[in-house]
Structure formats: structure tokens, C-alpha cells
Amino acid sequence: MVESGLFYSTFVDPLLVKIRKKTAGHIAPGQKIVDIACGTGALVFELAKKADFVLGIDLSPSMIKKASHTKKKHGIQNTEFRVCDASGLTTLNKHEFDVATLSLALHQFSPQLYNSVLNEMKRISKKIIIVDYAVPLPENFWGTGSKAIEYLAGREHYRNFRTFYKNGGLESILKENDMTIETAEYFVQNIFHLVVAHPNHSKQ
């Protein structure tokens, strides 16, 4: 499926308000945040209401172009957007950010990227907040609908989603990557899973 910042902002972003509000609830005023795979910047702008500064990064130039346009249109000064590969954030320093966020993106990645993306998040931030699909999804309209959306997103996307699901979702993947989960919650009919985690320093 070809990514389009305009399509995403029009049809997908409005469905994800609850995720953005939940994530923002774990951000303390004055913090410095990096949002990985930021898309059109909707979460960045929500976090910027509380944070001192929010950097949004995404591999898609279309997404970053849309986010930058919104920033300029609304004059949101405490944000910045860059086209970056989340698996190699070489321009960002160790513990440069208080928090790194990742929203509904891990299930889209090839499983070969889990380790490199999560290692970069651990390196550049002190705490990590990730939201993705619950595993298992509830056996109801919402769970079935979520699987259908992923199927319609394209063959590669759906294959990555199924691998994410088979790997046990966030809790299993984070533990395999030496991260300790501080808090976790399910919401929106239990189809989404939010975790707050930090590196397992005993294994560093």
C-alpha cells in the first residue's frame, strides 16, 4: 500500500485520538520527547501541549511533509520533524530525550528490525512508551475489524502483523529485548495495549 500523508491524516488520524490522549497522560510537563514513526505528527502535536520539545521522525517524506506543513500552519514552535530511519538514529545522542514513543508502528516493522529499533530507543531515551495491538485481540467485532484492517493494508504489512502477533505482542517482544515494563493498560474495547518501559540495566 502506498503511503500518503493526506490520506492518513484524513481517514486514519481521527480514529486514533484515544491513543494520543492515553500516551500524553504518561508525559510530565517540561520533558523532551522523540516520537518514532511519527506519521503526520498527530501524536507529536498532542505531546507538545505538555512537553518542552518534541521531535518527530519518520522514514516517509510524505508523512514528514504533511507534519511540517501542519506545524507551520498552526505555528507550533516546540516541535521539529526529520526524515530518519528508526533503526539507525546516528544523529541523536545517548539519553538525549526523557521519553521515546512509538505508536501503532512496531507491528508494521519486519521482525528483523525489532532489535535495532528498540536498541536505538533505549539508547536515546530514559523511558519508552509504546502502543500497539493487544495480543490476543478480543474475539469480537473490534478484534475482527482490527485484523481485517491489517489484512487490507497489503501483503507485506499483514505478514509483519501476523509475525508480531505470533511473537506475543509488546510484552513478549520487549522482554526479549531486555526491557522492563513498568505499567501496562488495555483500552478501546481492549484492542490496544499501552506499555511504559525502561531498559533492563542489569543486562546492560
* pLDDT for residue 167: 95
Q: Which three cell numbers stand for residue 67?
A: 507534519
* Gap between the Cα atoms of 161 and 24, Å rounded: 25
* Gap between the Cα atoms of 113 and 58, Å rounded: 15
Question: Where in the chain are the domains?
Answer: 5-203
Q: What is the pTM of this model?
A: 0.91
Q: Output the tens digit of pLDDT for each of the chain's 204 residues.
A: 345 556 555 555 556 888 999 999 999 999 999 999 999 999 999 999 999 999 999 999 999 999 999 999 999 999 999 999 999 999 999 999 999 999 999 999 999 999 999 999 999 999 999 999 999 999 998 899 889 888 988 999 999 999 999 999 999 999 999 999 999 999 988 999 999 999 885 444
Architecture of domain 5-203: 3-Layer(aba) Sandwich (3.40)
Three-state DSSP class for 76?
coil
DSSP letter for each residue of 116-183: HHHHHHHHHEEEEEEEEE-SSPPSSHHHHHHHHHHHHT-HHHHHHHHHHHHTTHHHHHHHHTTEEEEE
